[in-house]
Structure 1
C-alpha cells in the first residue's frame, strides 16, 4: 500500500498531507459498517438483563422506527449504547462523540446525556437522586431526553418484543455516515424534531 514519505509529521510536505486527507476520507466511509459490527459484539457481552445489550439496541431502534421517528432519531436510538463494551462508565459520551459529526445536535445531546436521565428509574434504590436530570432543565432538549428514555431506552429490555433485524437499519446507518461531517444543515443547532410522528408511523405499519 502506498504511504506518506515522512516518519515525523513535521517533515511532511503538501503532497503527503493531500494524500493522507484523501486516504482518511475514504477510510471514514466505512465507519457505519464498523459500528454495525461493533453493535453485534454486544450480543456476546455478559448481561444480567433479560436481553443482551445487542437486543436492547435493536429494540430501541425498532421502537423509534415504529414511532415514525426520522432517520437521525432511529440511528441515535440504535447506536446509543454502542460504547458499552469499551466505555462502561461513560458509554453515553462515547457514543455521542462518534455520532456528533453526522447527526442533528438534538439527537447527539440526548445520547450524550441519556445515562444521567436513565438514573430516574433506579437511583433512588441506592439512596441516590433520581431527579438529577433536572440539572439540565434549561436545555432545549430536556424533554426530548425524557421521552427518549421513557419510550425507547428503559422500555427495551423485553425478551418477548419482536425487534426488526439489524439489516433493516443498515441502509439508514450507511446514509447517516455518508454525510459530509459537521455540516451546519446536518448539525442543525437548536432545531428540534419530534421523536414520534403518527403519520409516518402509520405509513410504516402499512
Structure 2
C-alpha cells in the first residue's frame, strides 16, 4: 500500500496531503458504521443498574422517536451516553464532541450539558448540588436541556420498557452522520 513520504508533518507535500485527504474522507464516511458497532457492544452495565448501557440508550432514543423528535434529536438521544465507557468523568462532553460536526448548535449543547443537568435527580443524595443546572438558567437552550433530561434520560432505566432495537435506528444514524459537517476547515 502506498504511504506518504514524510515522517514529520511539516515535511509533507501537497501530494501527500491530497492522498491522505482521500483516505480520511473515506474513513469519515464510515463513522456511522463504527458508532453502531460500538453501540451494539454496550450490553453490560455499570454494576447496580437494572438495564445495560445499550438498553438505556435504546429507551432514550425510542422515547424521543415516539415523541416525534427530529432525526437529529433521536440520534442524540441514542448516543448521549456513548462516552460512559471511555470517559466516565466527562461522558457528555465526549458524546457531544462525536456529534458536533453533524448536529445543530442546540443539539450539541443539550448533549454536552446533559451530564450537569441530570445531577438534578441525584446530586443531593450524594451531598452535591442538585441545582447545578441553574447556572445556565439564562441560556437559550436551558429549557430544552431540562426537557431532554426529563423526557429521555432520567426515565430510561426500566427493564420492562419495550424499546425499539438498534437496527431500527441504523438508518437515522447513517442519515445524520452522512450530513455535510456543520464545521470544516
Query: If the length of structure 2 is used for normalisation, what is the TM-score?
Result: 0.96
The alpha carbon displacement at 1:90 in A equals 0.3
- Please, what is the CA RMSD of the aligned residues? 1.2
Give structure 2 stretches of 5+ with no counterpart.
Answer: none
Alignment of 1:101 onto 2:101: yes
Q: More relative contact order in 1 or in 2 (CA 8 Å, sep 6+)?
A: 1
Task: Tell me how far 1:47 sits from its aligned partner.
Answer: 3.3
Residue 75 of structure 1 corresponds to: 75
Deviation by residue 1:135-154 (Cα, 9 ceiling, x = unmatched): 00111000000000000000
Q: Secondary structure at the match of 2:171?
A: helix
Q: Quick check: 1:45–1:85 contact (8 Å CA) kept in 2?
A: no
Does 125-134 or 141-150 show the bigger shift?
125-134
Q: Once structures 1 and 2 are overlaid, which stretch shifts more, 173-182 or 52-61?
A: 173-182
Within a 5 Å distance, the mapping from 1:141-180 to structure 2 comes to 141-180=141-180
Residue 41 of structure 1 and its aligned partner are, at CA, apart by: 2.3
1:183 Cα deviation after fit: 5.2
Q: Give distance in 1, aligned partners of 2:149 and 2:75.
A: 15
Residue 20 of structure 2 corresponds to residue 20 of structure 1: yes
What is the CA–CA distance in structure 2 between the aligned matches of 1:46 and 1:72, rounded to whole Å? 27
Could you tell me whether the CA contact under 8 Å between 2:104 and 2:182 is conserved in 1?
A: no
Match of 2:5 in 1: 5
Range with bigger deviation, 166-175 or 33-42:
33-42
In the alignment, structure 1 segments of 5+ residues that lack a partner are: 185-206
Number of residue-to-residue matches in the alignment: 184
- Contact residue 58 and residue 166 of structure 1 kept, 8 A: yes
Deviation at 1:39, TM superposition (A): 1.3
User: Structure 1 length normalisation: TM-score?
Assistant: 0.86
Give yes or no for the alignment of 1:47 onto 2:47: yes
CA contact (8 A) 1:47 1:53 kept: no
2:133 aligned with 1:130, yes or no?
no
Name the SS for the 1:100 alignment partner. helix
Moved over 2 A (4+): 44-47
Comparing 93-102 with 44-53, which one deviates more in the overlay? 44-53
